[in-house]
């Protein structure tokens, strides 16, 4: 199964995601919702993105989601951001 990510319109809180699910079901594909955010829906499915795109009116774009970072990578990114914020906010005053 591939992981598809849908960037949904913000016109309504639940209709765009429901439209995606209904389109997948209408084409008789299995699916599993991985993540649902305000305007992003990530689904594991064998559905054809091109076929779905012809049915969806409240989706801006569909992309294939290739990978998820491991917790170790997320930790490194988080620590790196904290270090960057600290280095940007640290002030150095010249001595007199």
Q: Which structural domain, as residue segments, surrounds residue 25?
A: 2-67
Mean of all residue pLDDT scores within the chain: 82
Distance (Å, rounded) from C-alpha 1 to C-alpha 29?
11
Whether the predicted model's global pTM rises above the 0.75 cut:
no
Q: What is the CATH number of the domain that holds 29?
A: 3.30.70.260
Distance (Å, rounded) from C-alpha 90 to C-alpha 96?
19
Task: Identify which of 25, 29, 8 has the alpha carbon closest to the alpha carbon of residue 17.
Answer: 8
**Residue 41 domain-assigned?**
yes
**Residue 74 domain-assigned?**
no
**Residue 81 domain-assigned?**
no
**Residue 85 domain-assigned?**
no
Number of domains within the chain: 1
**Residue 61 domain-assigned?**
yes
**Residue 38 domain-assigned?**
yes
**Residue 93 domain-assigned?**
no
**Residue 10 domain-assigned?**
yes
pLDDT digits (tens, 9 = 90+) for 18-31: 999 999 999 999 99
DSSP H helical ranges for the chain: 15-26, 49-53, 71-89
SS3 93: coil
Question: Which residue has better confidence, 92 or 12?
Answer: 12
What mean pLDDT do residues 83-89 have?
49
Question: Which residue has better confidence, 72 or 84?
Answer: 72
pLDDT band at 69 (very low <50, low <70, confident <90, very high): low
């Amino acid at each position: 199964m591939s992981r598809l990510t849908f960037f949904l319109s913000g016109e309504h809180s639940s209709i765009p995601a429901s439209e995606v699910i209904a389109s997948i079901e209408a084409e008789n594909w299995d699916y599993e919702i991985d993540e649902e955010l305000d305007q992003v829906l990530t689904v594991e499915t064998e559905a054809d993105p091109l076929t779905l795109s012809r049915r969806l009116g409240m989706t801006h774009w569909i992309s294939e989601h290739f990978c998820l970072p491991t917790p170790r990578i997320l930790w490194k990114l988080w620590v790196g951001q904290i270090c960057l914020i600290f280095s940007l906010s640290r002030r150095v005053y010249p001595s007199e």
